Amino acid sequence: MDGGLPSWCWDEEAARRKLEDIVWADGMACPHCGEKERLHRMRGRSHRSGLWKCNACRQQFTATVGTPFHGSHMRLDKWFLAIHLLYIREPGASIRDVERWLGVTYKTAWNVAQRLKLEVDVPDHDLDEIVRQLCGL
């Protein structure tokens, strides 16, 4: 892996900010109730970075809610690295390649590749949009 990769491929914070830019390109809104104004960032060590709270419905959220990455145990920058590699660098990559790039188990690599590349019969417009924005397509 050379050093020419965008920071959102290896920096979790950069990846999160990138996803926020994409998901909230038209302005931020609570994914639970649609509130646009009364939102504030949760701060402090006890909170995951990127966590927001809606003062209208009192629920918490991050930019990953409603995206294919929500609920994933894999770090967001690894997802973005996988996208970058599979869509830009190595479209013909194997599961073994993904496993090696990401430093994950074969099973995880298989799931990632399945999600990103193989399920082309199931249109995922949210994922399409994120891939398009990330890769500048």
Which of 22, 29, 32, 124 touches Zn ion by CB under 5 A? 32
DSSP helix/strand/coil, 21: helix
Whose CA is closest to 10, among 62, 61, 59, 80? 80
Which of 30, 83, 112, 130 touches Zn ion by CB under 5 A? 30
How is residue 8 annotated by DSSP?
G
Which phi and psi (to 5°) does residue 81 adopt?
A: -60, -45
If the CB atoms of residues 36 and 107 are measured against Zn ion, the closer one turns out to be 36
Which of 1, 21, 25, 33 touches Zn ion by CB under 5 A? 33
Which of 42, 51, 56, 65 touches Zn ion by CB under 5 A? 56
63 forms part of the interface with Zn ion (CB under 5 A):
no
d(CA 3, CA 19): 21
53 forms part of the interface with Zn ion (CB under 5 A):
no
Q: If binding means CB under 5 A, how many residues of this protein chain bind Zn ion? A: 7
Q: What residue ranges in the chain does DSSP mark as E strands?
A: 39-41, 52-54, 60-61
Query: Edge-to-edge, what's the strand order for the sheet holding 52-54?
Result: 39-41, 52-54, 60-61
Piece of 41-49, 53-61, 77-85, 91-99 that binds Zn ion (CB under 5 A): 53-61
Which of 9, 15, 19, 54 touches Zn ion by CB under 5 A? 54
Interacting residue ranges for Zn ion, rule: CB under 5 A? 30, 32-33, 35, 54, 56-57
